[in-house]
Amino acid sequence: MVRVKYSEPVQLDLDQVKARTIAALDKLGQQKFAESGGYSLENWVRGVGLLLDEFEMKVGESKLPKEYVEKRRLLTDYLLRRVDTSSIDDSISELRQKEAEVVRKLGDARDRTKARIDELRREAAELTLELAKSKTQSIAPPEPERNGSFFRRVFSKGSATATREQNDKRAESEKKLQSLQEELSEQQKALKYIDQRSPESPTAEDWKTLESLQARIRELESEKLEKTQFVKERREFTASIAEAISRGIPT
């Protein structure tokens, strides 16, 4: 015969229930969640409600002090009210537009510099090829068949003039090529500095403005999050309810 061992019902430890509820309220008071999607303020209020419902069931309605009942009602009414964030939203929208303008300005500077670099490379390549061809081509015409002194003088004079003109043209092209290469080097350096936030960058002021705008946007978004999530109020409400439980319910 199997004997069933009878266990006395465990007496509810009110101090333990209070301690667990107070600890859970403290944790919920410090909780943060995303502004949109996932766990929301409504979920949080529902979670606190379930916690307190369980606590009240274990303690008994007759033992609940008026302070506790009033604070719980205030928590629900206050936190579920609609919050007006239109002024913050307008400020963020204005700053976003200014941010987009600066980003576009930096992008335009980058595109212009890249386009100029491509143009300089193309011009330099064409000029280099032109110089190479001019060095391999002879500009002197064939020696006249008649060797009279008159023809030699005319030919020599014409040949010298053509050679001088060719040399002048080559020198001018070489000077232009050097100028193109120098500008190319400057533009490549400028392109490198465009995406750097150093004082040497030609866009340093734009980067400074952009950083300032982004910092202010983060501040406003944080302010909005605090306001819509009632970060401070949730912490204060849960602490006040915990205090009411701690001192208002006899053990």
Q: What is the pLDDT along the chain (251 residues), one digit of tens a residue?
A: 444 444 444 445 888 999 999 999 999 998 877 656 677 788 888 899 999 999 999 988 888 889 999 999 888 888 877 788 899 999 999 999 999 999 999 999 899 999 999 999 998 998 888 888 877 764 445 555 545 555 455 445 555 565 677 777 888 888 888 988 998 998 888 888 888 777 777 888 899 999 999 999 999 998 988 888 888 888 999 999 999 998 877 66
The structure's pTM equals 0.59
Closest CA to 84 of 231, 228, 237, 248: 228
Residue 240, both tokens: 């006040």
Position 111 scores a pLDDT of: 92
Position 155 scores a pLDDT of: 47
Distances (CA, A) of 237 to 33, 65, 227: 17, 16, 15
E strand or H helix at 211:
helix 204-229
Domain assignments of the chain as residue spans, ordered by start: 14-83+230-248, 86-226
Give residue for tokens 């406003």: 220
Closest CA to 135 of 109, 100, 166, 157: 166
